[in-house]
Amino acid sequence: MQSLGLIWIAAVIMFIILEAATYQFVSIWFVFGSIAGLIACLCGAGFAVQMLVFIIVSAIMFIIFRPISMKLIKPKDFKTNADSLIGKNVLITQEVSNIKGTGQGKINGMVWTVRGGTDELIHVGETAKIKEIEGVKLIVEKVG
């Protein structure tokens, strides 16, 4: 029985080290399960009961805390300098046609790929307002 206790202690330490190495909440559930297995061992339960306790506690911890941990480690959306262009006007340098997949515009001395917010054509020389940015494309609406 004493050697089983040492195995559970080793499991706790191993899962803590694994969690510290990944910092992605991959094995934290098993730390709690191992602690529960150790407690079951100290109470005199057989190995089958210890494993059952380990599995049940690990599963419960996973079900309860996985959604919370995903919110904590999920990358946050962050604003970039390009977001400062939203609401400004862009000069169209190539006809904007969503159907043809064409369109370019110039703003602040830089040429961007441009797509219309609607299927309306925007001709060269016209001005369009930037509504949003998707990747490296400006989504615009015709001004006027």
Q: Rounded to 5 degrees, what angle do the CA atoms 64, 19, 52 make? A: 55
Residue 10 CB burial class (10 angstroms; 0-12, 13-18, ≥19): exposed
Q: What is the C-alpha to C-alpha distance for residues 69 and 84, in angstroms, rounded to an integer?
A: 32
What's the gap between Cα 75 and its chain centre? 5
- Residue bearing tokens 């934290």: 28
pLDDT value for 75: 64
pLDDT value for 82: 74
- Among residues 133, 84, 139, 82, which one has the least CA distance to residue 114? 139
Strand partners, 139: 115, 132
Per-residue pLDDT reduced to its tens digit, 2-55:
788 999 999 999 999 998 888 777 888 999 999 999 999 999 999 999 999 999
| 81-142 is classed CATH 3.40.50.300 | no
pLDDT value for 84: 81
Per-residue pLDDT reduced to its tens digit, 86-111:
999 999 999 999 888 899 999 988 89
pLDDT value for 135: 83
Q: How confident is the model at residue 113 (pLDDT cuts 50, 70, 90)?
A: very high
- For the whole model, what pTM was predicted? 0.52
In which residue ranges of the chain is CATH 2.40.50.140 found? Answer: 81-142
